[in-house]
Structure 1
Amino acid sequence: MKRRTLILAATAAMALAPMARAQDGGTMAQVMDSGELRIGVAAAEPWFYKDPMSEEWTGVGVAMGSRMAEDLGVQMVPVETSWANAVAGLQANQFDIMFVLDPTEERRQALDFPENPLFYYAMGALVQEGTDVTSWDALDTPETRIGVTLGTSLDRNVTEMMDEAQISRFASNDEAIAAFAAGRIDAVVQFHPALVVQYARLQIGEVILPEPVEPVATSAGMRQEDSTEFLDWVNTTFAELYDAGVPDELFDAYLATKDIDASTIPGLVKEDW
């Protein structure tokens, strides 16, 4: 019994060690010590895409992670998670940062976010072709079935906006799109860059930006900790990359891999809309 107790105690200590290191020296110290910047990735084009054959992750979020890891002189390591589990994964020190995580009030209570945004996008909807909809109110009817991705800021937004519509929640963007293609829902609400990629792949329905159209700032979540070194670095880096137009560069490059003409859609820098 004593030996078993010692083994369990050692195992618990090993499990808590990464979190302890993060709290003692902060995330920046942990990243530099390990030589790795671990980013959370959850299937959602164009931010994160896992090739089913090579299992390699690509996307705007992955490219941003690679760029920032290079600035630090460390290796970028993707860690698979889900939008619903992103907050818990960061708190448990499973990864260091999650890009394209909107800083909602609920998330701010659990995570740190930089003051400067990562980039901007707008809420949109993929609807059946020929649907006469110009506003969000027009979608809020008892017969309208709307799909959103569970645990996202869009899930919260649609829940707050819609009083009459039937809302279905899916584990990923792809599952929501599959339900739309199968006719199980009438509309999918996602941010406009994701919808453009989905439409290009499906070639069914049409992408609309119902009114009012408002830019939404997205960000990146990090663990709350005493040291602000990592948070300050991310904040400064975001400002520099946004001013240099890097988000649009990464977005355009990803769209090119999908044979989508980036010049035909709004980018991620709102001043250019």
Structure 2
Amino acid sequence: MSWIMRLAAACLLAAAAIATAPQPAASQTLQDIVSRGEIRIGYIPAPPSVIKDPVSGELGGFSIDGAREIARMMGVKPVFIETTWGNFVAGLQSGQFDLSIAGTFATVQRAMVVQFTRPIFYLGYGAVVRTNDTRFKTLEDINAPGVKIAVVQGGSAEDYARRNMPKAQVITLATGNLTAGFVEVAAGRADVSIEDAFTIDRFVTRQPSVRNLFAGKPYNFTPIAWSVRRGNAELANVINTGIEVLLSSGRWDDMTRGLDVGTRFIDAPNFVAWPRPPAGGN
């Protein structure tokens, strides 16, 4: 067989492989969303931003309300799809959903695989320890051999613990429940759990056996944002505009009033609804 015939045969085989290969997920362009009349929205239950009724499955919370309002302004129907902290990136990349409204810490590492919206607010970290445990005073005390740190798998707290506390043992929990690590501490299976200060403060008010080691002085303030598939700048621009409208008009403040979050939402010391760091943030 001549080299020309071999080349032609190779081209035919390549063309056949392309034709029969699994097709990529929908491109998720803005036009795709408008054409089908719906925007698919990934969410993770995490009060008060996303609240899921355990009986009816009904969704509420300021992120759900904000996403519904932006979808209304876009003239499309919001379709909500539950995901986890470990899977929301894959959900965006595979086309399972167009937008993730998981209240995600916008880090450089994550920005390499997803495209974040503008910050919605800023949030610091805390650390859960048992109330009677006096071993820990600073972050340096936690970074010690024999210390067990419980974190949610795929969450930003896992990344923070692995980067900043290499001497300790990091225990990852395959769950979307951000309070799972706190339960491990309360049960004595872990010494410390790291998570956002707002979630911690809500938990410790109901569980006197544990406390926030950094109560009133959160650290590592980081922007919280939504995300779209990396490179989908057109959709990100529309979502950013919607977020700006809701924030600047005060409508997002209105949506957060009356939420049953265990504390005053807007005035909580470790939480800021407006996109600026609290005093003393870094």
TM-score by length of 1: 0.79
Is 1:109 aligned to 2:112, yes or no?
A: yes
User: Which residue in 1 is equivalent to 2:91?
Assistant: 89
3-state DSSP of counterpart to 1:157: helix
Q: How many residues align?
A: 253
Q: 8 Å contact 1:117–1:239 — kept in the other structure? A: no
CA distance in 1, matches of 2:264, 2:220: 23
Q: Does 1:209 align with 2:214?
A: yes
Residues 83, 259 of structure 1: alpha-carbon distance in 2 compared, 3 angstrom cutoff: closer
Contact 2:33 2:39 in 1 (8 A): yes
The DSSP-based 3-state class of the residue aligned with 1:124 is strand
Structure 2 Cα separation of the partners of residues 122 and 245 of structure 1: 23
Q: Deviations over 1:183-237 (max 9, x none)?
A: 2112221111222232344343122437772421121211134x63211112233
The answer to whether the 8 Å contact 1:45/1:197 transfers is: no
SS of structure 1 residue aligned to 2:104: coil
Closer, same or farther in 2 for the Cα pair 1:267/1:119, shift >3 Å? same
Q: Name the amino acid aligned to 1:202.
A: Q
Match of 1:165 among 144, 164, 168: 168
Matched, 1:198 2:200: no
Alpha carbons 1:47, 1:61 under 8 Å: kept: yes
Secondary structure of the 1:236 match is helix
AA in 2 matched with 1:183? G
Aligned-partner SS, 2:42? strand
Aligned CA distance change for structure 1 residues 32 and 109 (closer, same or farther; 3 Å): same
SS in structure 2 of the partner of residue 163 of structure 1: coil
The DSSP-based 3-state class of the residue aligned with 2:199 is helix
Shift in Å, 1:261: 3.2
Aligned residue in 2 for 1:142: 145
Letter in 1 for 2:106: P
Comparing 70-79 with 151-160, greater Cα deviation is found at 70-79
Instruction: Report which of the two structures shows the higher radius of gyration computed on alpha carbons.
Output: 2
Distance 1:266 1:251 in 2: 16
Query: Which residue number in structure 1 is paired with residue 155 of structure 2?
Result: 152
Q: Are the aligned partners of 1:42 and 1:80 in contact in 2 as well (CA < 8 Å)?
A: yes
Alignment map for 1:218-237 (pairs within 5 Å): 218-225=224-231, 228-237=233-242
Match of 1:29 in 2: 31
Partners of 2:144 and 2:252 in 1: how far apart?
36
Whole-angstrom distance in 1 between the partners of 2:62 and 2:53: 14
- Correspondence for 1:182: 187
Which deviates the most, 57-66 or 182-191? 57-66
Gaps of 5+ in 1: 1-8
Bigger share in helix? 1
Contact 1:117 1:238 in 2 (8 A): no
SS at match of 1:202: coil
Query: For structure 1, which segment, 145-154 or 50-59, has the greater mean C-alpha deviation from structure 2 after superposition?
Result: 50-59
Structure holding more strand per residue: 2
Aligned counterpart, 1:265: 269
- Taking the aligned partners of 2:204 and 2:251, their CA distance within structure 1 comes to 24
Question: Structure 1 residues 236-245 or 43-52, which shifts more?
Answer: 236-245
CA contact (8 A) 1:248 1:267 kept: no
SS in 2 for 1:77: strand
Contact 2:124 2:218 in 1 (8 A): no
